[in-house]
Amino acid sequence: MGYILLILGIALFAGGHWVKRLVPEKRAAWGDKGKGVLALAMLAGIVLMVVGYRSADVVNLWFPPAFMTHIANLLVLIGFWFFALSSINGTMAAKVRHKQLTGVKAWAVAHLLVNGDLASVILFGGMLAWAVVSVILINRANRSWDRPANVSVKNDAIAFGVGLVLYGIVAAIHTWLGYYPFPA
């Protein structure tokens, strides 16, 4: 049952995000009420992903080498930096159009590197696929992009600091949940 919930959760989360891109006329006709319905569907998707992932039977596909943890931690930190860059206009923000989706891709790849079980492949592979398809859909719908103005290296450093703090908070939560993210 866990795998079914996990897949359904990914489908709800992705579908809720893609409605605006795939059927924009219908989405516009729904108005503000439609935004609420889609937000609830995406929230339900997240809940189903968590419940499904935690309840899925463990099926090991491979056993990642321990050194992958270092690479994964670096990728997760980069992912949080890109998330921060979506609000803080550093020089990197002017080079990467989809900063949050880039952050999700880095996060997903990181987790795929260190988790060799089927539930992880479905969850993190599904989120990676969602981010890749989202970039394609957004670019197809709107080819032009206005690069952020007033960018600075100082803002890159500030965004990195914000990303580092977020990384520390999430690492603490992982540790609290029993998933120690740092190798011995």
Gap between the Cα atoms of 184 and 153, Å rounded: 34
Q: Give 137's Cβ-side CA count (13 Å radius).
A: 17
What's the pTM value of the predicted model, to 2 decimals?
Answer: 0.91
CA 133 to chain centre: 13
Gap between the Cα atoms of 23 and 3, Å rounded: 28
For residue 44, the tally of other CB atoms under 10 A from its CB is 15
Mean pLDDT of the chain: 93
Mean pLDDT of 101-130: 97
Same domain membership, residue 27 and residue 85: no
Task: Report, in this order, helix, strand and coil percent for the chain, each rounded to 5.
Answer: 75, 0, 20
**The pair of three-digit structure tokens given for residue 154, joined into one six-digit string:** 């100082």
Same domain membership, residue 184 and residue 110: yes
Same domain membership, residue 171 and residue 86: yes
Q: Structural domain of residue 36, as residue ranges?
A: 1-57
Total domains present in the chain? 2
What is the band of 49 on the pLDDT scale with cuts at 50, 70, 90? very high
